[in-house]
Amino acid sequence: MIKFNDIKGRTTDFLKDVEVEMTKITWPFLNDTLKSTLAVGFISAVLVIFLFGVDSLFSMIVKYVLA
């Protein structure tokens, strides 16, 4: 059976390790984050338009074949 003190000690050790690791993180600048966000948004929009076109094309082909 796990004792409360063991859980408390393990949790404390874990949180100390998290604090140490958080100091090692290099956070991106706001400008870099905005550029990346815009790039992802643009690529997503292009992919949506492409997939809509392909879906519409296949839909027309299926309607033609089944009609």
Q: Where are the domains of the chain?
A: 4-66
The pLDDT tens digits of the residues spanning 22-53 come to: 999 999 999 999 999 999 999 999 999 999 99
The alpha carbon of 51 is separated from its chain's Cα centroid by a whole number of angstroms, namely 20
Residue positions counted in the chain: 67
> Has residue 1 got a pLDDT over 60?
no
> Has residue 4 got a pLDDT over 80?
no
Half-sphere CA count of 12, side-chain side, radius 13 A: 6
The alpha carbon of 61 is separated from its chain's Cα centroid by a whole number of angstroms, namely 35
> Has residue 8 got a pLDDT over 90?
no
Half-sphere CA count of 66, side-chain side, radius 13 A: 6
Does the predicted TM-score (pTM) go above 0.85? Answer: no
The pLDDT tens digits of the residues spanning 12-23 come to: 999 999 999 999
> Has residue 2 got a pLDDT over 70?
no
Where do the DSSP E strands lie in the chain? none
